[in-house]
């Protein structure tokens, strides 16, 4: 079975780019802002 194992993606490269992905997600990358009332307040602060 071991001979059939393959890497489907480069995990190290993904972890390296994770901060960029979270930054691009904006509010979705910040769970503390997911509640509707907090989300509205956050959106108002962004203009």
pTM over 0.75? The answer is no
pLDDT value of residue 2: 72
Once rounded to an integer, what is the mean pLDDT over residues 17-25? Answer: 82
H helix and E strand count, the chain: 2, 0
Query: Is residue 16 predicted with pLDDT exceeding 80?
Result: yes
How many Å apart are CA 23 and CA 16, to the nearest integer? 13
- Name the residue with higher pLDDT: 31 or 11: 11
- The string of pLDDT tens digits covering residues 27-37 is 777 777 778 88
């Amino acid at each position: 079975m071991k001979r059939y194992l393959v890497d489907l993606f480069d995990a190290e490269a993904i972890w390296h780019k994770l901060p960029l992905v979270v930054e691009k997600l904006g509010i979705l990358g910040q769970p503390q802002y997911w509640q509707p009332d907090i989300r509205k307040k956050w959106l108002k602060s962004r203009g």
